[in-house]
Chain A
Amino acid sequence: GAGVSQSPRYKVAKRGQDVALRCDPISGHVSLFWYQQALGQGPEFLTYFQNEAQLDKSGLPSDRFFAERPEGSVSTLKIQRTQQEDSAVYLCASSLARFPFNTGELFFGEGSRLTVL
């Protein structure tokens, strides 16, 4: 597609359920990021992939959060045993640049809004 595609756009989960959020980046973009954005706040870094390699997962808040990008294209962010504080918008972004040695703009998807009841 022409842009970064995320699904689902909206997800409501009961506390304790597992959720999976999908990101389809722009074709050919080697870099892929996941960010978490709480209401009224800026995006907070979760994890970074360069092709299929997860080079930085320092932002994942707990071991309940897991991300993968097995073929260097589509990525999935999985949250196990969801809790109310996980409620946020999860943004995926891709880039041609290989961070940190190169720099470039990020192309963001529309986000997946997760509400945990």
Chain B
Amino acid sequence: SQQGEEDPQALSIQEGENATMNCSYKTSINNLQWYRQNSGRGLVHLILIRSNEREKHSGRLRVTLDTSKKSSSLLITASRAADTASYFCAAGGTASKLTFGTGTRLQVTL
């Protein structure tokens, strides 16, 4: 079963706007990762945040983690049409696997 749920399920914005996606997970984690998937392709790793970190930046990406609320958010600033994709959070805990959420479909229009 899916570990996490992303919110919203779908998001449509215009180029240049910011996009925020949220992820909630169920069990204790030692890290949380975000991945992007273009239609019909494999997943690509974006960023990893450890459980003792609260915020992390990478280029136009900003990730926050609140372990007390078991939630994370991904912010994409100044979005581009090329950011159109599905975004998944993945929780890493004591099990030998990453457990993925249900995904947010982001559409960036010109």
Bound-complex Cα distance A116 to B43 (A): 23
19 other contacts beyond A42-B88, A99-B92, A110-B42, with CB at 8 A cut-off? A41-B102, A42-B100, A42-B102, A43-B88, A43-B100, A44-B1, A48-B97, A55-B96, A59-B97, A93-B43, A99-B97, A103-B31, A103-B48, A106-B90, A106-B98, A107-B45, A108-B42, A111-B41, A111-B42
B42 lies within 8 A of A45 (CB) = no
A91 within 8 Å of B (CB atoms): yes
Task: Tell me the count of chain B residues lying within 8 A, CB to CB, of chain A.
Answer: 27
Instruction: Give the size range of A's interface with the partner.
Output: 20 to 34
- CB B35 to nearest CB in A, in angstroms, measures 8
B99 within 8 Å of A (CB atoms): yes
A-B pairs, 6 with minimum CB distance: A108-B42, A105-B45, A42-B100, A99-B96, A108-B43, A45-B97
Binary flags per residue of A44-74, CB closer than 8 Å to B gives 1, else 0: 1100101000011001000000000000000
Majority-rule SS of A interface residues? loop
Bound-complex Cα distance A21 to B83 (A): 30
A41, A91, A93, A106, most chain B CB atoms within 10 A: A106
Bound-complex Cα distance A46 to B58 (A): 30
B84 within 8 Å of A (CB atoms): no
Bound-complex Cα distance A35 to B42 (A): 11
B43 lies within 8 A of A91 (CB) = yes
Bound-complex Cα distance A3 to B39 (A): 18
- CB B110 to nearest CB in A, in angstroms, measures 25
B97 lies within 8 A of A43 (CB) = no
